[in-house]
Structure 1
Amino acid sequence: MALAAVETAFSDEDKERVLEENLLLNPNDVGALRCLMEMKIQSRKIAEVIGIIDRLMEIDPSDMEWPLLKSHLYAYSGEVEMAKNGFNEILAKDPFRVEAYHGLVMAASESKSTQDLKEIEKRIDEGMKLCKKQGKKAEFRDFKLLEAQIRVKEEPRDFRPYICQGIIYTLLRKNNEAEKNFEKFRRLVPKGHPYATYFDETMIATKVFAQKMENEIAMSKK
């Protein structure tokens, strides 16, 4: 059955079941995997979403965006240590991946670990020195924003889940859901807070990546 028909003919539970049956016959169907993943995120079945991402990582191990999304999902669901491990694995392969450092900062903030934040700050300082040496101006700017974020001593924590969930929905091209979360974030984040600046920078990169994924999927169907 075509995916378009699945979208219109059944209830959400039926859609999930049909997609899962389709994947038994076609386990490498990336389009079906993405549809199933999006549905399970909507229904907050995070453990099952992570299982789907693992499958997508097996299909294309070179795509580092899937591990990034997986780690954000761990952070969103409160699995802080799993999130940290995931972000650190990404940084072992790409030490300039500022999004992974951002994830580590969020995870450390959630666990209220001052020591972790200090260690991350040292790593960011090393990253900035390397950026200067290699002339990576954009990465240096992003590292500076993260450094400022860490140095804010008292921060309200209730806005963080909204930016995290908004990023996840943006990566999944669920723009309406993303914007709802970002609007809540904007209302809650204090004026002049480093997160407010970082949000603008992060969203530019995230939207570019989401558009890139959409273009690649469209090309693969031709």
Structure 2
Amino acid sequence: MDRCGEGEAVIRRLQEALDIAGEENKVKEARDVRLIVAQIQFLQKNVEEALKSYQELSKEDPKDFRPYFCRGMIYSLLDRNEEAKEQFAKYRELSPKKFEIEKEDIGFLGNNPPSHFV
């Protein structure tokens, strides 16, 4: 994504979308864009910045399950498994049934891939 300035262009476009959402008082849309920005921060290896963004999103709306899932994934990838477990527990507590993942599916993050991931 960072080839030929693509990363910067993406961030710029997302900032434009965020500005428009703010001007039009579209809170949900602005939040969705901020979630995407945090994902891009992670992809650009700005891990601590991404975690900080997800933390801010969690504080603003503690009932939104998405930042907890994303932080859980990042912590898992960093082998910060206790923190990952806490985030996934909060995610499972808050998420609607249609978004739930099975414990077996996240077990692979602890080096035990379920058969359908191998």
Q: 8 Å contact 2:76–2:110 — kept in the other structure?
A: no
Structure 2 unaligned regions, length at least 5: none
Number of aligned residue pairs: give it: 98
1:32-71 matches, cutoff 5 A: 33-71=34-72
Instruction: Tell whether the 8 Å contact from 1:37 to 1:52 is kept in structure 2 after alignment.
Output: yes
Do residues 85 (structure 1) and 80 (structure 2) align?
Answer: no
Q: Show structure 1 runs of 5+ residues with no match.
A: 1-8, 111-145, 150-192, 197-222
For 2:8, the equivalent position in structure 1 comes to: 12
CA distance in 2, matches of 1:42, 1:106: 21
Equivalences for residues 137-156 of structure 1 within 5 A: 149=114
Question: Which structure has the bigger radius of gyration?
Answer: 1
Letter paired with 2:57: L
Q: Secondary structure at the match of 2:101?
A: helix
RCO higher in structure (CA 8 A, sep ≥6) = 2
SS at match of 2:62: coil
Distance 1:44 1:56, change over 3 A: same
Q: Pairwise mapping of residues 122-137 of structure 1 onto structure 2 (< 5 A)? A: none
Shift of 1:75: 0.8
Look up the match of 1:169: none
Residue number in structure 1 paired with 2:117: 195
Query: What's the TM-score, normalizing by structure 2?
Result: 0.57
CA distance in 2 between partners of 1:109 and 1:10 (Å): 33
The AA in structure 2 aligned to 1:12 is E
